[in-house]
Each structure stands twice: as structure tokens, then as C-alpha cells.
A and B are shown apart, each in its own frame.
Chain A
Amino acid sequence: MKLFVPSPGHIDSLKELLTQKEKIYSIFMAGSPDYIGTGRSNLASPQLEDIAAQTEYAHKNGVKMELVLNSSCMGGRQLTPEGYRINHWYIKKLVDIGIDSIVVADPYLVETISRDFDVDVVVSVLAFVDSPQKAEFFEDLGASSIVIDSNVNRHFDVLHAIRDSVDCELKLLVNEGCLYRCPFRYAHFNFFSHAFGPEPRPNVLDDYYYLKCLELRVENPELIIKSPWIRPEDIKLYKDITDVYKIGGRTHFVDWILNCVNAYHNESYEGNLMDLLDCPKDLKDLFYISNKSLDGVLEKQWKNCKKVCNKCGYCRTLTKKVAQVYTKGGTEQEALAPWETFSVKA
């Protein structure tokens, strides 16, 4: 198994992560938001010297280094002469540093980087590759690896069709807890791309997409169950598609990341499923869903699910069975109660 593991972006976190280097194939982290930016929030903005030092440290420890430049919207700047020049300058510096791979979402960057530089180009999950046709398109542009749109993580027919259509490496993002077919996805990642990209950055008080996403799931945790995460125990069902897995979570503490690394490396986790999900981390103090209570569900139900929820009801019933809510959290009386205890809308 090749595990791609997130780093918050500074050398101290990298050193801590690599205490478990035998479980890690590659580290990935964002670069400086002053150039291309990323489609997710960042804790650090490492400059080229920091990236060089961290890459050297990773390589010394036998671990690869991947830079994530997966802005989903650059406002067309990438197509201007100045944008082209700046992006090329930055990517050349990264390649000279010895970065092993660069993750991008924009098809133009996939083509231009693969043509002009000797570096592996990875198609980001934010390029939404959810069909064999899109996968072929990106492979033809020069992609050496594709992170498949996590929306199809439980569509085994699509995953197999993609596998059969391309020769490049395929990666699965295993612990993204985003809404299945999330209606906020494009708008939210575009917002992040500007908020964590070059100036001018929007001065936003509240992230509507994040708060609305949480509101929906607080009201209905069935949406958490339906999210297309892959449990550590279920990795074995994907082995004829790929052996390359990406753990999301570069805004978490290293301890949280290593907990995920161990879970996926061991293909087993005793505890709250919410501990492993990158987003929504706020809800881990609200819901307890025993990871082990979901043993066998992917194989028996979701692998062949037609996704016509109003005619099925399986996930609704499952949620009532497995979702528990923390009560009196943070006090000596903290306890768990079935979600239904509180829900008049169930």
C-alpha cells in the first residue's frame, strides 16, 4: 500500500510525521499561496527555502514529497502572459528543489507542467474525475496520476471502468467526509482557491458553505453515513483498482494525522468513525459512530447501491442504529445517547 499523508506544512510537523516513516510513501503539502494556491484551507505557507529543506528531509528518510497547487479557480490569471511567467517560474523552482510530484486541478496546468517539466503531474480530486472519459482526457494531457473524485468511491462499476481505461496511477482519497454529490462543492473550492491563493483575498466573516454543510448534517447525520469515505477495513475491497491511497487533513494536528495513518496502514480502527474523517471535524464532538459497527456494510450494501435513496431507506435505518450523540459533553456527566432521542425529524 502506498499512503500519501498530509502535512500541515512546517518542518516540525514533518519531523513528527516521519517518526512513522515506514508507513508513509509520500508527504503532501501546500506551497505558497502567493503563486497558485490550493482548493482547501492551509495552516502554513512555506516559502521555497522551507520547501527545499522539507523535501531534503523527506528524501533523506526515504519518503517522497508532493506539492499541492490545486486551486480550482485562478480567475483566468493562469492564462495571462504574466500568470504564465510567474507559474512557470514557481514550478521550475519546485522541480529544481526536487519535488517528486505536483498536484493540480486545472487541465491547462496538467498539460503545461507535463510538457515543460520533468515532474510527475497528479490530477487533483478537485478536477472531479468521475468517469473513464475524463480519466482518459487527463491521461492524454500528460497526467501520471489521478485522484479520483471521491463521489464515486462507492461506485465500483465506475472505478473499474476508470481502471480499465487508463494506465496511469489512480489514487483514492479515503477519509473525506464531504456530502455525497455535495451541492456546495464547486462554489466552496472556488472560494477556498481565492481565500488561499494570491492577492487579493476575500475578507470573509463566515464561510457559508461550511456552516451550511454542518447545519445539514447536525440535522441529519444520515448525510455523514452517505458520505463516500472508505473505512480502513474496506481498503481490501479496492485492491483490484489501486494500492495508492491519500489521507486528507492538512489542517489537523500531527497526532490526528498519525492516528489516521495507523488506522489505514493497519486496515483497522477501533473507535469513532468521526475521528478519521477530515471534514467535518467539528462534528466529532457531537456524533459517535462506532467504526466497527459498519463492518460488512460496504460489501453487502453500498458496493451495489443504486443511490436511489427515497426508494431504499437503508442508510436511514442504519443511521438510527449506529449514530449516537454526546450529551453533557466536556463534563463529568458526559454520555452517549441514541441520535433518535433528540431528533423529532427522524
Chain B
Amino acid sequence: MMTEELLKNRAEFEEKLRKLIGRPVLLIELDLFALPCGCAGITANMRGLEVDDLDVFEPQILPLVKEMAANLGVKPTVTFARLVPGSSIVASLNWRTLCLRCYPEFARGEGKMPRPDLYMLMFERKK
């Protein structure tokens, strides 16, 4: 790690998404992040990915999302897409290992879209 792995994973994830949805979408920036609250994870800023793609291909996208997290050594509590509310635009895909403070915010949300800008792909509830 790190930069070579990031580059490789960016390219592979983009390639797999393109083959899946039949369109040359662009993963314009793949970031590993850490927040002051204690959350950490991955952000994939997307161009050309649409909400309909998530609706239609979610079962096929989920394994790709899991593979990316495993490849980069991130164990996300939540994986979600960030949308531009009221539009077809998927701005980014996000894998986040939640801190104790942020976990309840996500855990209290319900449904696929607990907020207008969030489309939930996976959520690991605490037992």
C-alpha cells in the first residue's frame, strides 16, 4: 500500500462498474479518509453513475462494494451512495466505519433513503 493499491482498485472498480451497467462511468477520485469524530473509510467520487443504476444493479454492485472494502482493509459499518437530492445524480459511493457518536444517526434512520441525499447499500447493525 498505499498509492499503487489505490490506483489499482480505482481502475478495477471503475472497470467492473462499466461492464455491469454498460456505460463508461468515471470514478474520478478514490479517497481514504479519517474524520475528527472517529469515523473512517473510503469515498469514491463518481461521474455518470445514476440512481437508476443503483436500483437496477444493486444485487450486482454489492459484491463489488464489499470487494473494494476488503481490498483496502476497511470494515465499513455503513455503505451508502450520496445523491444530489431530487435528481438522478450519484455524487459518490461511501464506505464508512462509524464512530460511536455517528452510529446512532445512521442506526435510527429507516428505509433505503433515510435522508434525501443518502441511498443505503449496506448497514451492519450492532448486535
**A interface vs B, CB < 8 Å?**
205-206, 208, 211-212, 214-215, 218-219, 282-283, 285-286, 325, 327-331, 333-334, 339, 342-345
Contact = CB atoms under 8 A, between A and B. Distances in A.
A208 B84 contact: yes
Nearest to B88: A215
Given A208-B87, A215-B48, A345 B22 contact: yes
A329 B15 CA distance: 9
Contacts of A286: 24, 26, 47
B89 interface: yes
Contact of A343 (B23, B89, B117): B23
Interface in B71-106: 84, 87-89, 91
A2 B18 CA distance: 44
A214 B46 CA distance: 10
Contacts of B84: 206, 208, 211-212
B116 to A, nearest CB: 11
Nearest to A220: B23
A90 B70 CA distance: 57
Given A325-B24, A345-B22, A215 B89 contact: yes
Interface string B32-56: 0000000000000001101000000
B7 interface: yes
What DSSP secondary structure best describes chain B's contact surface? mixed
B7 A282 contact: no
B26 A285 contact: yes
B8 interface: yes
B48 A214 contact: yes
A285 B11 CA distance: 12
B11 A328 contact: yes
A286 B11 CA distance: 11
Contacts of A327: 11, 15
From A211, A282, A345, name the one whose CB has the most chain B CB atoms within 10 angstroms: A211
B28 interface: yes
Contacts of A211: 47, 84, 87, 89, 91
Contacts of A219: 23, 48
Contacts, number: 72
Interface string B1-26: 00000011011101100110011111
Contacts of A285: 26, 28
Nearest to B25: A218
B89 A208 contact: yes
A342 B28 contact: no
A282 B24 contact: no
Contacts of B19: 342
Nearest to A205: B117
Nearest to B28: A282
A342 to B, nearest CB: 4
11 contacts: A208-B89, A212-B84, A215-B50, A218-B25, A286-B47, A325-B24, A327-B11, A331-B8, A334-B11, A342-B22, A342-B24
B51 to A, nearest CB: 11
A268 B18 CA distance: 34
B63 to A, nearest CB: 20
A331 B7 contact: yes
Given A211-B84, A214-B48, A206 B89 contact: yes
B89 A218 contact: no
A283 B88 CA distance: 19
A310 B106 CA distance: 47
Contact of B48 (A218, A330, A333, A339): A218
B28 A344 contact: no
| 7 nearest CB pairs, A to B | A218-B48, A344-B22, A342-B24, A328-B11, A325-B24, A330-B7, A286-B26
B91 A330 contact: no
Given A211-B84, A327-B15, 14 more contacts: A206-B84, A211-B87, A212-B88, A214-B26, A215-B48, A218-B23, A218-B24, A330-B7, A330-B10, A331-B11, A339-B24, A342-B18, A342-B24, A343-B24
Contacts of B91: 206, 211
A334 B11 CA distance: 9
B26 A333 contact: no
Contacts of B117: 205
Contacts of B15: 327-328
Nearest to A218: B48
